[in-house]
Amino acid sequence: MESGTRFVSKVDTWLAVVLIGSLLLLVGSTILFWFVAPPAQRWIMMGSLGLVLLLTFGLVIPIYYDLEQDVLLVRSGWLRTRVPYAKITKVEPSNNPLSSPALSLDRLHVHVEDGFGVLISPKEREAFLQALLQRCPHLRREGERLERSR
């Protein structure tokens, strides 16, 4: 598949601090409990910690958005979502806090014909919108939004 333009996720400092702080707290408490827990429970705790770290990093690293030949590829760790350009009906600014492949609440909601779409947070928002507009001739610019032409 032909590769296109790549945009990385914007990262909110507070969100990075919360995520890293939570993981450090989890690791620290697991190490602390290692010394007081019975031996059989130590391995359960370490296994649980490993699973949480694996899932967290597996869903967060990397996060980017590729504008490929026919689709917007949204990559969030192991997960990949392909949004065909032809199915995009609207792109608008959003602060929706729903879980999504975005490390910022300064987001774009990419609406699609048959569903919710996807929430993304490209660091270079204006460049992303311009590049997407070039690949979606059925959309037109309306300020901060892209909408389907009538």
- pTM of this prediction exceeds 0.95: no
Which residues have C-beta within 8 Å of that of residue 62, sequence separation ≥ 6?
A: 8, 75, 77
Q: Among 54, 105, 63, which residue's Cα sits nearest to residue 81?
A: 63
pLDDT value of residue 91 = 97
The pLDDT of residue 16: 92
Q: List, run by run, the mean pLDDT of 10-residue segments along the chain (150 residues).
A: 77 93 92 88 90 91 96 96 96 91 94 93 96 96 90
Nearest to 135 by CA among 87, 70, 75, 74: 70
pLDDT of 74 reads 97
Report the pLDDT value the prediction gives residue 2, as an integer from 0 to 100.
43
In the numeric block, the tokens 């389907």 are attached to 148
Which domains are assigned to the chain?
A: 5-9+62-148 (2.30.29), 13-60 (no CATH)
Contact 10, 106 (CB under 8 A): yes
Confidence (pLDDT) at 149: 82
